[in-house]
Chains A and B, each alone.
Chain A
Amino acid sequence: MNNTIVLGVIGADCHAVGNKILDHAFSKAGFNVVNIGVLSSQEEFIDAAVETDAKAILVSSLYGHGEIDCKGLKDKCIEAGLENVILYAGGNLVVGKQDFEKVEKRFKDMGFDRVYAPGTSPAESISDLKDDLNFNIGTMAV
């Protein structure tokens, strides 16, 4: 069963540590992680997902400009034939400490399936992704 996911840090953001941790955590959980790393444009996420037949795209943004950087990503996914690809976003998506519910709503309106507050542990999103992709441990190659 295909369990490929694309992971990367969007925009002009070069915070690399969280990205490495997510790569490790999702790989260990049995996903085939295609990590495009920091400084990744929307197009790079999409191109990577098309070639690798990815089932989900996990976008990180740490430096506060996540909203501008993520705008339009869902539309481009639809355009590229990736309308069924699951989209997650996490990190420090916006500047400063804002009410997370509002942030979550704005990202969901942009087409993200799930949005994570700063400091969420990888375990939470791993379990969500397994649900969303209908994967249970038995079908995953570990």
Chain B
Amino acid sequence: MNAVLLIDFGSTYTKLTAVDIDNDEILAVASSETTVKTNIMDGFYKAFEVIKAKTCDLDIEYVEKLACSSAAGGLKMISIGLVQSLTSEAAKRAALGAGSKVYRTYSHELSAREISKIIEEKPDIILLAGGTDGGNKDCIIKNAEALSGKIGDIPVVVSGNKNAVDDIENIFEENGIYFKITDNVMPRLNILNVEPAREAIRTVFMEKIIEAKGLGEAEKEIDNIMMTTPTAVLKAVNLLADGTNEEEGIGEILVVDIGGATTDVHSISKGEPTKSGVVFKGLQEPYAKRTVEGDLGMRESASSLYESAGFVKMKKFMANESIDIKEKCEYLSRNIGKIPKTEEEKEVDETICTTAVGLAIERHIGRVATEYSPMGVIYSQEGKDLSETGYVLGTGGAIVKSRNPVKILKSGMESIKDPKYLKPSKPEYLLDKDYILSAMGLLSESYPNKALKILKKHVVNIG
């Protein structure tokens, strides 16, 4: 039979999914520790042996082997714009949507100190924006000048005022900078255009970053590392929501993905005001939006999660209030390999997980602000209104492997009490029980209909 092998080189685990593309079935999944220090392929072969063992009675021909990666630190980015709430924010959203970790976002003309800081942080890619088309071009040109000569071989994606592009091209060419020029992230005021920047980032990731991170070895054996893991997840979720020309999707969806160090939230929705009389303010929202919370996670970020949430909030999720949750969080951030075994350890993990769900979703979704005018109240909205979003999907080991995923998702959602937050009002809860989102995102590149069928089968409704 014909099969496709999908590989996710994760930060900790390398996960393999073998899919029978004649019958749209998952044949086997396996995982092994990611091995960046030796050879990325060691972990791959280990997992592949397991796949082979599981499928030994089948005659399989792998027609494609596709991979995504968040190994070796993932994709680290710095984004630069002009005004913080406008092009800087637009650039940040484009970078996040491309599956990167945005270390810092800069605004206005960069100072020498800021440039030193950027270099210190060793980003994989810099995203340079600033100015609407026909708008301000001094700032982005000055920033291009200031960066060139200092950043060495760090690639730059330029996605700013089109009228500045020729100058920037000259500056970068003279200085031997590796760069890609693409359409403006904010061509007109408050109009967001993230796709071209996302694609350019993905191209640079494939052309440069894979090799630079020592993952090039993998490409001798498999077809391609095509994208970052978060991009693959976002693609899968987008497919599940929108469907294809042949098969319908399930509609608007909110996804929460909890890892050891970060919590990702994705939403597929226009997020426009659902109630009349509400005025949308500020920068347009991306239809497929990803946010990343660097302070919320199960292990590395457990102690920063405690700092952000606090005892009072976390206590509400614990049956046993005598647990010293602060101490537990600190312990876990020092012992990141810890797997919960006892009843108490499981409760601690569930508490951390529920807290992360609540806070990460709260930060992702939009808010209404109430303004009092002589006529009465006026409502303005910032961010996405997801109140009519029908599904909340949980993924990530902490949720998938927990005893009670639906309780974690529900309590997390219900902890967002302030009515100003535009959270899904009556969602159904879904679970990525076989952990296949990233694999299906990859598969969707060549076989969207098959990927959608498998997603619908393996993403289950839990309440």
A residues at B contact (CB < 8 Å): 2, 4, 12-14, 32, 34, 36-40, 43-44, 47-48, 50-54, 63-65
Q: Which residues of A contact B373 (CB under 8 A)?
A: 12-14, 63
B residues at A contact (CB < 8 Å): 82-83, 85-87, 130-132, 134-137, 186, 188-190, 279, 281-282, 371-375, 378, 380
**Residue in chain A with minimal CB distance to B87:** A51
**Residue in chain A with minimal CB distance to B81:** A51
Query: Is chain A's interface secondary structure helix, strand, loop, or mixed overall?
Result: mixed
B136 with A50: CB separation less than 8 A: yes
Q: Which residues of B contact A4 (CB under 8 A)?
A: 134-135
CB distance from B131 to the nearest CB of A (A): 6
B374 with A51: CB separation less than 8 A: no
B86 with A51: CB separation less than 8 A: yes
B83 with A51: CB separation less than 8 A: yes
A53 with B374: CB separation less than 8 A: no
B279 with A53: CB separation less than 8 A: no
CB distance from A32 to the nearest CB of B (A): 7
In the bound complex, CA of A36 to CA of B188 (Å): 11
CB distance from A119 to the nearest CB of B (A): 21
A63 with B374: CB separation less than 8 A: yes
**Residue in chain B with minimal CB distance to A14:** B378
B189 with A14: CB separation less than 8 A: no
B374 with A47: CB separation less than 8 A: no
Known: A13-B373, A14-B378, A36-B189. A52 touches B281 (CB 8 A): no
18 A-B pairs besides A34-B188, A51-B186, A51-B189 with CB distance below 8 A are: A12-B371, A12-B373, A14-B279, A34-B132, A34-B189, A36-B190, A37-B279, A39-B281, A44-B281, A44-B282, A48-B189, A50-B82, A51-B86, A51-B130, A51-B136, A52-B134, A52-B189, A53-B134
A38 with B279: CB separation less than 8 A: yes
Closest 4 CB pairs of A and B: A52-B135, A53-B136, A12-B373, A12-B371
In the bound complex, CA of A70 to CA of B131 (Å): 25
Q: Which residues of A contact B372 (CB under 8 A)?
A: 12
Q: Which residues of A contact B132 (CB under 8 A)?
A: 34, 51-52
Q: Which residues of A contact B137 (CB under 8 A)?
A: 53
Q: Which residues of A contact B135 (CB under 8 A)?
A: 4, 51-54
CB distance from A50 to the nearest CB of B (A): 5
